C-alpha cells in the first residue's frame, strides 16, 4: 500500500545518545535502538473506519517522536505499519451503513493518510494491508501448525484455526495479567474465551473459515480470512524480521493483541518478537475513552475543516506525556493555539538568547521517555525570555526553528 508523503526534516548535528522508553514487558525504562545502522519499528495501524480521531493521532504522534529521536541520534529507521483492512468491526460497520467494505477501508485509509500528512507525522517505509498480506499470514500459520501450536476448533460447521496461546513459551510475558482479568479483557477486545470446542479459553483465532456473506480467500487451511493478531505478527516478521526494536500501539493493545503477537512470533522463529513493547496512553472525551464503539470521537479532519492549524493540533497532543491517559477538551486546542501564536511571534524576530541550551533541553527531554511536555516547557522558557529582552541574533532563532521542526515536528 502507499503511505503518505514524507515531510522534510531539517538536518541538525548528530546527538548520538539513544532514547529510553517504558517497556510494558519488563515494566522498566529501557534504552532502545541499535548502536549503529537502522532501528526497526512496528506500530499497529488503524482499522479503517472512524479515522482519524485524536486518540489515533496521539498514538501515532508518540511513535513519531521516537522515530525523530532515533534519527537525531544518527540512526536510520525502518518503520512498518499495518492497516487492518479486513476484520469483524470493519465488516460490521460496512454492513450497517450499506457501504462495500473495500470502499469503506479505502476511503478511511485515504483520510488517515491526509491527516497524518497534515500533522507532519513521518510515514512508515512499509505500509501494509492485511488483505495484501494473506499469503504471508497463511505461510506463518502453516509454520505454526507444524509445531503443533495451531489446531482446528471442534466445530463441525466452522472448524476455524486457533493458536494455543497459553501453551506457548512466554505466556503473559508482555501483559502480566492475572488470568481472570485477562479473560474478561480478551472477551471485550475481540476474543472468544467461551467458544465451545476450543482447547483453552485463551487460544486465539488465526484463520476464520468462510461464512455466508463474508469475504474469504482460498488457502491450504480452507477458504477463509486472517485473524487479527496473526496479521501483525506476519507483517512485522516479513518487513522487519524477528527481535526488532520496538512494537508500539495504544495501551488498549497490550492484551490480547501484543501479548499474542509476541507468542506467535516466538513460537514460529524461536526468537523474541520485539526488544521493547511501548504503549501510548488513552485519550478520552466526555468522560470516557475515545472509541469507535462509544462514538465519542473528535476527528482530526473535522478540526482541520473548522480552520484549526494542524500544528496547533499537534501541540495540543504534545502537551500531554505519551504514557498518560487524558481527556480532551476544547481548552486543550485553545491553549495550543495560543502557544503556537506566541512562538511564531517571537521566532519571526531576532533574539539575543543563544539557542544551544534550549535545543539540548529538548533533546534531553525526548531521550528521557519521550517527555514532550518538558520539551515544550523548555521552548516556552526561551520564548518568554526572548519576548522580554529581544535582540539581534537571527542565527539563534533559525537554530530553534530547525530543532522544533526536526525533533518535535512543529513547523512554525
The region of 154-162, 230-238, 355-363, 384-392 touching Zn ion under the rule CB under 5 A is 230-238
Q: In what order do the strands lie in the sheet with 204-209?
A: 150-152, 161-163, 204-209, 224-226
Query: Pick from 58, 78, 247, 358: which binds ligand 5CA (CB under 6 A)?
Result: 58
The region of 38-46, 149-157, 239-247, 404-412 touching ligand 5CA under the rule CB under 6 A is 38-46
52: preceding bond cis by omega (within 30 degrees): yes
| Eight-state DSSP code of residue 125 | S
Residue 206 binds Zn ion (CB under 5 A): no
| Eight-state DSSP code of residue 53 | B
Query: Pick from 280, 317, 370, 397: which binds ligand 5CA (CB under 6 A)?
Result: 280
Residue 124 binds ligand 5CA (CB under 6 A): no
Smaller CB distance to Zn ion: residue 118 or 232?
232
Query: Pick from 38, 107, 252, 309: which binds ligand 5CA (CB under 6 A)?
Result: 252
Smaller CB distance to ligand 5CA: residue 18 or 229?
229
Residue 250 binds ligand 5CA (CB under 6 A): yes
Residue 44 binds Zn ion (CB under 5 A): yes
Q: Are 319 and 332 in contact (CB under 8 A)?
A: yes
The CB-of-149 to ligand 5CA minimum distance in angstroms stands at 21
Helix axis angle for 310-318 and 372-389, nearest 10°, is: 120
Q: In this structure, are strands 150-152 and 288-289 parallel, antiparallel, or unpaired?
A: unpaired
Q: 378, 379, 313, 373: which is closest to 342 by C-alpha?
A: 379
| Residue at shortest CB range from Zn ion | 44
- Binder of residue 252, out of Zn ion, ligand 5CA, none (CB less than 5 to 8 A by kind): ligand 5CA
| Per-residue x/- track, 299-338, Zn ion (CB under 5 A) | ----------------------------------------
Smaller CB distance to ligand 5CA: residue 45 or 123?
45
Looking at the chain, how many residues does it have?
412
Smaller CB distance to ligand 5CA: residue 150 or 282?
282
The CB-of-250 to ligand 5CA minimum distance in angstroms stands at 2
Q: 198, 174, 194: which is closest to 186 by C-alpha?
A: 194
Q: 102, 18, 119, 204: which is closest to 409 by C-alpha?
A: 119
Q: Which of helix, strand or coil describes residue 148?
A: coil
Helix (H), strand (E) at residue 225: strand 224-226
Smaller CB distance to ligand 5CA: residue 44 or 372?
44
The CB-of-47 to ligand 5CA minimum distance in angstroms stands at 4
- 74: CB partners within 8 A, 6+ apart: 14, 15, 16
| Per-residue x/- track, 231-250, Zn ion (CB under 5 A) | -x------------------
Q: Which of helix, strand or coil describes residue 321?
A: coil
Smaller CB distance to Zn ion: residue 44 or 317?
44
CA 101 from centre of chain: 23
Burial of 380 (0-12, 13-18, 19+ CB in 10 A): middle
The region of 100-108, 145-153, 270-278, 283-291 touching ligand 5CA under the rule CB under 6 A is 283-291
Binding site for Zn ion (CB under 5 A): 44, 232
Amino acid at each position: 500500500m502507499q503511505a503518505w508523503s514524507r515531510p522534510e526534516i531539517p538536518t541538525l548535528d548528530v546527538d548520538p545518545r539513544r532514547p529510553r522508553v517504558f517497556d510494558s514487558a519488563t515494566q522498566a525504562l529501557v534504552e532502545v535502538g541499535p548502536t549503529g545502522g537502522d532501528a526497526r519499528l512496528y506500530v499497529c495501524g488503524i482499522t479503517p473506519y472512524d479515522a482519524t480521531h485524536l486518540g489515533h493521532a496521539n498514538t501515532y504522534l508518540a511513535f513519531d517522536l521516537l522515530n525523530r529521536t532515533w534519527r537525531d541520534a544518527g540512526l536510520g529507521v525502518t518503520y512498518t505499519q499495518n492497516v487492518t483492512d479486513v476484520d469483524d468491526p470493519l465488516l460490521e460497520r460496512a454492513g450497517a451503513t450499506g457501504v462495500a467494505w473495500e470502499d469503506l477501508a479505502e476511503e478511511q485509509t485515504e483520510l488517515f493518510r491526509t491527516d497524518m500528512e497534515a500533522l507532519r507525522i513521518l510515514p512508515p517505509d512499509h505500509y501494509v494491508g492485511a488483505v495484501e498480506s494473506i499469503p504471508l499470514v497463511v505461510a506463518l500459520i502453516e509454520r505454526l501448525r507444524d509445531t503443533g501450536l495451531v489446531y482446528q476448533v471442534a466445530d463441525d460447521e466452522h472448524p476455524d484455526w486457533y493458536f494455543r496461546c497459553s501453551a506457548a513459551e512466554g505466556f503473559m510475558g508482555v501483559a502480566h495479567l492475572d488470568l481472570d482479568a485477562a479473560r474478561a479483557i480478551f472477551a471485550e477486545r475481540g476474543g472468544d474465551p467461551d467458544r465451545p470446542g476450543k482447547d483453552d479459553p485463551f487460544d486465539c483465532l488465526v484463520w476464520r473459515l468462510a461464512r455466508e456473506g463474508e469475504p474469504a480467500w482460498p488457502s491450504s487451511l480452507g477458504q477463509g480470512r486472517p485473524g487479527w493478531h496473526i496479521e501483525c505478527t506476519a507483517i512485522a516478521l516479513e518487513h522487519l524480521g524477528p527481535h526488532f526494536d520496538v512494537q508500539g500501539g495504544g495501551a488498549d493493545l497490550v492484551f490480547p493483541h501484543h501479548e499474542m503477537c509476541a507468542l506467535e512470533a516466538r513460537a514460529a522463529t524461536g526468537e523474541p518478537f520485539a526488544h521493547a513493547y511501548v504503549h501510548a496512553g488513552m485519550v478520552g472525551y466526555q468522560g470516557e475513552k475515545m472509541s469507535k464503539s462509544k462514538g465519542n470521537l473528535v476527528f482530526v479532519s473535522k478540526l482541520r475543516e473548522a480552520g484549526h492549524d494542524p500544528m496547533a493540533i499537534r501541540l495540543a497532543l504534545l502537551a500531554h506525556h505519551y504514557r498518560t491517559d487524558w481527556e480532551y477538551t476544547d481548552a486543550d486546542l485553545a491553549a495550543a493555539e495560543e502557544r503556537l501564536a506566541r512562538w511564531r511571534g517571537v521566532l519571526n524576530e531576532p533574539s539575543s538568547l543563544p539557542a544551544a541550551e534550549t535545543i539540548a533541553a529538548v533533546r534531553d527531554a525526548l531521550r528521557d521517555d519521550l517527555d514532550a511536555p518538558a520539551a515544550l516547557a523548555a521552548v516556552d522558557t526561551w520564548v518568554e525570555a526572548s519576548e522580554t529582552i529581544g535582540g539581534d541574533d537571527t542565527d539563534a532563532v533559525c537554530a530553534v526553528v530547525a530543532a522544533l521542526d526536526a525533533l518535535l515536528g512543529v513547523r512554525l
